[in-house]
Amino acid sequence: DTAVSQTPKYLVTQMGNDKSIKCEQNLGHDTMYWYKQDSKKFLKIMFSYNNKELIINETVPNRFSPKSPDKAHLNLHINSLELGDSAVYFCASSHRHTQYFGPGTRLTVL
């Protein structure tokens, strides 16, 4: 009964490819997020959706496109992958003040 799940856990791909990361939460939360953790462990918000509506877009390249088909899902599609996209991507969801994170997806671009 995982609260926030992400697939895949690991993703290794070549530069220039397009890839997607899926996120699902079964907590009934209204708000979902994508965060990026770089090689120095710094975490930064990328996007936030509230009730399927985009509310935060933190100057992320437009190669990154989030999609929220319903309140329980927030997927991240990345076009034309670059070396600098290598990172751990975390999905999170919240109700009221606390955000709960998924296990993370480690993306490696070769």
Partner 1 sequence: AQKITQTQPGMFVQEKEAVTLDCTYDTSDPSYGLFWYKQPSSGEMIFLIYQGSYDQQNATEGRYSLNFQKARKSANLVISASQLGDSAMYFCAMRESGGTSYGKLTFGQGTILTVHP
Should residue 89 be labelled a site residue for partner 1 when binding is judged by CB under 8 A?
no
Should residue 68 be labelled a site residue for partner 1 when binding is judged by CB under 8 A?
no
CB of 14 to partner 1, least distance (A): 23
Should residue 94 be labelled a site residue for partner 1 when binding is judged by CB under 8 A?
yes
- DSSP per-residue string spanning 10-27: EEEE-TT--EEEEEEE-S
CB of 96 to partner 1, least distance (A): 5
CA distance 106 to 51: 27
**Cross-strand pairs, 92:** 33, 101
CA 76-7-85 angle, to 5 degrees, is 50
- Beta carbon nearer to partner 1, 44 or 63: 44
Residue from 23, 24, 25, 33 touching partner 1 (CB under 8 A): that is 33
Q: Which of 95, 93, 110 has its CA nearest to residue 3?
A: 93
> Which stretches of the chain bind partner 1, using CB under 8 A?
30-31, 33, 35, 41-45, 48, 50, 55-56, 58, 88, 90, 92, 94-101, 103-104, 106
